[in-house]
Amino acid sequence: MKKIELGGSRQTSVSQLALGCMLMGTSTEEATARRMLDDYVGRGGNFLDTANCYTWFVRRGSVGGESEALLGRWLSATGRRDQVFLATKGGAMLTDVAAPWAATGEVDWTIARGLFEGAGRQTLQDALEGSLRRLQTDYVDLYYVHVDDRATPLEETLETLEELRRAGKIRHFGWSNVRTWRLERIRQLCDKHGWPTPIALQQQHTYLRRRPGLEQASIVDDEQLDYLAQHPDLTLVAYSPILKGLYDDPRKRQGHWAMQPYAGLDSEARLATVRQTASELGITPNQLVLAWLLQQRSPRVVPLVGPRTWEQYQDLLPALNVELCPEHWSRLQSAGA
């Protein structure tokens, strides 16, 4: 697996494909999770992603921390801590994980979003200590503010992150689910105080383009792509790159919540182009979309995949060996309504 420089730093090398561990310990049983982790690292992968809230929302009774705890057991058993670039997050754990569960057994996300722990000084300090304990390590390579917290002064959050960095508990920091103007404010404050700037931005990003007029801070838009292209020291880590595998299954796409931000004629045209190109290359649409993301250069993109099963994990790996010729690249780039 190829390596890239995260945040433009030659001292921070990560694999071109990140492995999301969100479902490990809940939806993905431990034996399967360990099998994926062993295989991923064996192939040269090193970029592991989790969060302290993973994953209370999979089923009632989950409390968060399950993914970190599983990773901690695996790291302890294998002794591979020095072989991985370990990323976790704080800020999106709930103050009450039982409150958002409706009688129907579904999560009410309107309630959940009002219960995020936030990014205040004490909250981040406590959240990181809990993460380090579960991960069975004394530092993480990358610590994200999981959800942008506008109720806490940015200076407080950034000063706390710098204190954690100087204490050796985090090596780098990043942000997730955040608007571009906030990123610029973060960078300005870091420059003002002489603090290191964030090296990673974790946002939802895929081949389909968000529909016009969508109010969504978590999905990359044209302005954010332009900002990232102008700031190569901030690398885009793209979550949900294949939209729950919907590129491969037209029936599953019908009415699926993951398609709602992209619904429209533009997505229909781009989906048709993906189907045609994947057929010509003899690969699946999911694999093609991953290959397209892996070959982006302006801005550079690290796709973050989070397979639930061993079969899903295996199905994604061929994307690493796909090389798009100029004709296919041009067709994919220009497709749309």
pLDDT tens for residues 84-126?
A: 999 999 999 999 999 999 999 999 999 999 999 999 999 999 9
pLDDT computed for residue 239 by the predictor: 98
pLDDT computed for residue 10 by the predictor: 73
- Cα(218)–Cα(80) distance, rounded to whole angstroms? 32
Give me the chain's average pLDDT, please: 96
pTM: 0.96
In sequence order, what E strands does 21-116 have? Answer: 47-49, 85-90
Cβ(16)–Cβ(294) below 8 Å: yes
Whether residue 47 is predicted with pLDDT greater than 90 in this model: the reply is: yes
* DSSP codes of every residue in 219-276: B--HHHHHHHHH-TTSEEEEESTTGGGGGG-HHHHTT-GGGGGG-SHHHHHHHHHHHH
Name the DSSP letter for residue 319: G
Mean pLDDT in residue range 19-33: 98
pLDDT computed for residue 187 by the predictor: 97
- Cα(111)–Cα(256) distance, rounded to whole angstroms? 21
Mean pLDDT in residue range 326-337: 96
Closest CA to 48 of 135, 160, 127: 135
Residue 28 corresponds to which tokens in the numbers above? Answer: 């993905």
Confidence category of residue 270, pLDDT binned at 50, 70, 90: very high
Cα–Cα distances in angstroms (integers) from residue 179 to residues 176, 223, 304, in the given order: 9, 10, 20
Residue 152 corresponds to which tokens in the numbers above? Answer: 């806490």
Tell me the pLDDT tens digit for each residue of 279-315.
999 999 999 999 999 999 999 999 999 999 999 999 9
Whether residue 11 is predicted with pLDDT greater than 80 in this model: the reply is: no
Q: Which domains does the chain have, with CATH numbers?
A: 3-246+285-324 (3.20.20.100)
pLDDT computed for residue 8 by the predictor: 80
Whether residue 9 is predicted with pLDDT greater than 80 in this model: the reply is: no
Closest CA to 66 of 53, 57, 79, 78: 53
Tell me the pLDDT tens digit for each residue of 138-187.
999 999 999 999 999 999 999 999 999 999 999 999 999 999 999 999 99
**C-alpha 31: how far from its chain's center?**
23
pLDDT computed for residue 25 by the predictor: 96
* DSSP codes of every residue in 159-197: HHHHHHHHTTSEEEEEEES--HHHHHHHHHHHHHHTPPP
